[in-house]
Structure 1
Amino acid sequence: MPEVTRHEPGTACWLDLASPDPETSKAFYGELLGWHSYTLSVDKLDDYEMFTLGGVDGPTVAGMQTLADETQPPSWTCYFRVTDVTDVARRVLAAGGRELVAPLDIAHLGRIGMYLDPQGTDFAVWEPYEVEGAQVVGEPSAMCWVELASREVEKSRRFYGEVFGWRAVDRHYYRHFVYTNWKIDGWSVAGMVHMDETWPDEWPGDWIPYFQVADCDAVVARSVELGASVVIQPDDIDPGRFGVVMDPTGARLGLLAPRAR
């Protein structure tokens, strides 16, 4: 599999799972997507689990940390590549967002910032020093897309446009729903779906990652055998066949089998 050596500014570059039960999460993703893992120790920070493909020494695809607060829901956090975290922090605050973690150096690896958009959805940014982010994307068992579920899409369009310079393009991807594609220089970098009245009231808006698979139906069925629950049953859309599940700890993720081109 080709390894990624650079992520373009404004694109998703890393995924971070906050889990209340790391051992359960490692077992689930290991069985479902074939991930391995090792523990990364960084001075002054908690140990961090790195997920890899093709063995422990294989290329990285995502990371995991233990939930620091039991009141927080299990979730995936999407990181977006930027050239200057400090500048992004200013734009987040100016656009009505809030700061969770101020710009912070992670040893020699890079610089992070973590934020909430005006609707309370968390996301993070990454300014690389020596580490660009995930070393595999757009390949089987790796991230292939990220999507925001938002109850107020116009506010989300405005906010992320001001923060990342994304341009919103609406498409009718899934039945009668309008789907937003965010683009930079003509390239699609992320998506957004409207959380209408059919979504459970208790579900917060969030960013969820999609992982590429060969057979969506089979992988969704296997996820249930491993303790997941189905959020959206497998269905066909223009890019391929997709489904959304909630892993055994409660974090949502998407699965996509791309349509052959």
Structure 2
Amino acid sequence: MSHVTSNQPTGTPTWVELDVPVAEAERAKEFYEALFGWEFAVGSPQAGQYTVCLLRGHAVGGLRPVTTETTRGHWRVYIATDDCDSTAKRVLDAGGTLIESPAEVGDRGRAALVVDPVGAEFGLWQGRGRTGSEIVNEPGSLVRNDLTTPDPATARAFYPAVFDYTLDGEGGLPGTDFTFLRRPDGHEVGGIMGMPQGSPSVWGTCFEVADADAAAARAVAAGGTAGTPSDTVYVRLAEITDPLGNTFVVGARPGAGED
């Protein structure tokens, strides 16, 4: 497990949030409470009643209210930066675009929303009052983000240009086009997975659980759907779709025990 008490180094996935139609907010909270045991707190009025997801009283993600009745289909990842404006400029210089320019988020930090050259959206987060997720790498919290795209070569050029990542092609996944992304200090922060042409480019989110099979069963009981859990060389995974149509993955480490 890991408790985060200061800003993560630049290039580290540091926060996840879900766009939730206002009318569906209670439904979303009921589902994620049943799945992960989360509790919820309303953020500052300046954030438009943004809801913070809590694990044992610590922030692990957010529900962002939107007026549209449609959802993005997945959780949004924010990547840490020491200078949101400078990193946003690097995004543009490397061929990305801005959806939302850098702006203050109350006293919590400075954020921007961007799209990379392969069409995957992500956020930038320069933490102040909120560092990002306060618990990671334990059941009920963020454990990993990976980019899947039919154009991995373009992605492999873009992300090192923006975050100074180094690339490690030894993914340990035979028969796949997978590249680890590492910060300049060598710490692995995610990866890029090549997918067939026609697949969407998206940053996926994996939440850790103690038991992937039990988590899949809870998701179905709470109104979502779940794929059949399967083993990889690293974890046992299950793909979950919440009642609003958002897809993500849960993963249990070998020997993690029962939920």
TM-score (norm 1): 0.90
- Is residue 42–residue 107 contact of structure 1 (8 Å, CA) maintained in 2? no
Cα separation, 1, equivalents of 2:155 and 2:190: 12
Which deviations, in whole Å up to 9, do the C-alpha atoms of 1:50-80 show, x marking residues without a partner?
00012xxx01100011234345534311001
Aligned match of 1:130: 129
Aligned match of 2:222: 226
- Is residue 71–residue 245 contact of structure 2 (8 Å, CA) maintained in 1? no
Cα separation, 1, equivalents of 2:69 and 2:200: 17
- Is residue 12–residue 79 contact of structure 2 (8 Å, CA) maintained in 1? yes
State whether structure 2 residue 238 is matched by structure 1 residue 243.
yes
What does residue range 1-261 of structure 1 map to in structure 2 within 5 Å? 3-6=3-6, 7-20=8-21, 21-43=24-46, 45-54=47-56, 58-70=57-69, 73-174=72-173, 176-184=175-183, 185-196=185-196, 201=198, 204-230=200-226, 233-260=228-255
- Is residue 19–residue 74 contact of structure 1 (8 Å, CA) maintained in 2? no
- Secondary structure of 1:112's counterpart equals strand
Stretches of structure 2 lacking an aligned partner (at least 5 in a row):
none
Cα separation, 2, equivalents of 1:219 and 1:34: 11
Question: Identity of paired residues, percent?
Answer: 30
- Is residue 230–residue 245 contact of structure 1 (8 Å, CA) maintained in 2? yes
Shift of 1:175: 5.1
Counterpart residue type for residue 204 of structure 1: P
CA 1:211/1:72 → structure 2, altered by over 3 Å: closer, same or farther?
A: closer
CA 1:221/1:173 → structure 2, altered by over 3 Å: closer, same or farther?
A: farther
Cα separation, 1, equivalents of 2:115 and 2:96: 6
Cα separation, 1, equivalents of 2:194 and 2:226: 19
Cα separation, 1, equivalents of 2:207 and 2:107: 28
Stretches of structure 1 lacking an aligned partner (at least 5 in a row):
none
- Is residue 173–residue 237 contact of structure 1 (8 Å, CA) maintained in 2? no
CA 1:119/1:178 → structure 2, altered by over 3 Å: closer, same or farther?
A: closer
Counterpart residue type for residue 220 of structure 1: A
Cα separation, 2, equivalents of 1:172 and 1:161: 17
Shift of 1:118: 1.1
**Structure number with higher strand proportion:** 1
CA 1:175/1:28 → structure 2, altered by over 3 Å: closer, same or farther?
A: farther
Cα separation, 1, equivalents of 2:202 and 2:221: 25
